[in-house]
Amino acid sequence: MSADTVEKTITSYLAGVCRKPFSYLGKIIEPKVLNVSPLLLRRFSCPPECGACCKSYSLDFLEGEMMPDLPFRERPVEVNGITQIIRTIDNPPESAFCLQLDEHGRCRIHGRHPMPCDLEPIKVIFYRDSQTPNRLTQQLRGRGWRLEQVTGQRGTRCSFLPVDDDTVEEVVRRLERLKVWADAFELDTWLNAVIRWAREPSLRNTPMICCPRLHAYLEGLANEFDA
């Protein structure tokens, strides 16, 4: 069985954007202050002949999400007492790459690829230090230089491009897809507020701070973490 992406979705993305605690696999996931970086809104390029980030992960879909016409298994996943049936297309664990990656490093199912693939390189960066907010941003993979491309070379080929209205709408589209997952498990998140911040040109050049203790968010603050 391939590496499970559902767990990453819940413990990384949903944990990072939640406003209230929720339960998963017998643990309580607590929200932390979230610093939403203006870098979240930039564009990234994904040239051909790479595929370095497309490893043998599970490809997971909610019921009702658009998905490719491929065999899948169904499995129940419970978050915060809500069970959803997840449709999973497995990749063989022994495979170096996702089976949907073609020889030129292109996704054969692009447009019907799963939400976590679609979100990349949006990330929540978690900080263990309780005083340092987590950060929602776009960031290249850590240790990306180690990843193997379809060509056999090492490293990643993506790079970032500046923010414009189109990049904002593309990021909003992806955040809305994440929100479909959050809503499926009835999780209370900051996503509506982040989308509003992203769409407001007078706000989005400065970070947004989301504070679960105050149940409030602040926009337009100086950001010491975006150096």
46 binds ligand SF4 (CB under 6 A): yes
Contact pattern from residue 92 through residue 111 relative to ligand SF4, giving x for each residue in contact according to CB under 6 A and a dash for the rest: ------x-xx---x-x-x--
Is the C-alpha dihedral spanning 171, 141, 220, 216 positive or negative? positive
Lookup: tokens for 91: 């990749």
Asked if residue 195 lies in contact with residue 208, where contact means CB atoms within 8 angstroms, the answer is: no
Work out how close the CB of 135 gets to ligand SF4 at its nearest, in angstroms, rounded to a whole number.
20
Alpha helices by DSSP H, listed for 110-190, are 115-119, 165-184
117 binds ligand SF4 (CB under 6 A): yes
Instruction: Tell me which stretch binds ligand SF4 (CB under 6 A): 77-85, 155-163, 189-197, 213-221.
Output: 155-163
Nearest to 154 by CA among 146, 166, 165, 162: 146
Work out how close the CB of 67 gets to ligand SF4 at its nearest, in angstroms, rounded to a whole number.
10
Q: Give the one residue of 156, 210, 212, 217 binding ligand SF4; rule: CB under 6 A.
A: 156
d(CA 183, CA 79): 11
Residues lying near ligand SF4 in the complex (CB under 6 A): 46-47, 50-54, 57, 59, 98, 100-101, 105, 107, 109, 113, 117, 156-158
